[in-house]
Amino acid sequence: MVGSEDIPLKRLIKEAKASHADVRIGKKGVTEEVIKEIKRRLNEHKVVKVKIGIEVEDRREFARLIAEKANAKLIEIRGYTFILAKKND
């Protein structure tokens, strides 16, 4: 089986768009555990799809905040779902 490090980023993003959310931000909001889980999945898979399950004032700003906290690149926002990719450091 091919690891995610061997698959091009564009393909990983396309697969993420077609799949269910990997991480859901629920009623507890953005906790340290949520950020750690996003970072872990980014390290493992390079791309993570996040679903916002709480009421937020500005979804775009919320997604940008999560990307910043997770040291990730914000790829796309659609409704209450957004996709993050691992930054090339």
Residue in the block written with tokens 């691992």? 86
Distance CA 68, CA 60 (A): 12
Quote the pTM value: 0.85
- pLDDT tens, the chain, 89 aa long: 345 556 788 888 888 887 888 899 999 999 999 999 999 999 999 999 999 999 999 999 999 999 999 999 999 999 999 999 998 75
Domain span holding position 27: 4-86
Number of separate domains in the chain: 1
Supply the CATH number for residue 74's domain. Answer: 3.30.110.60
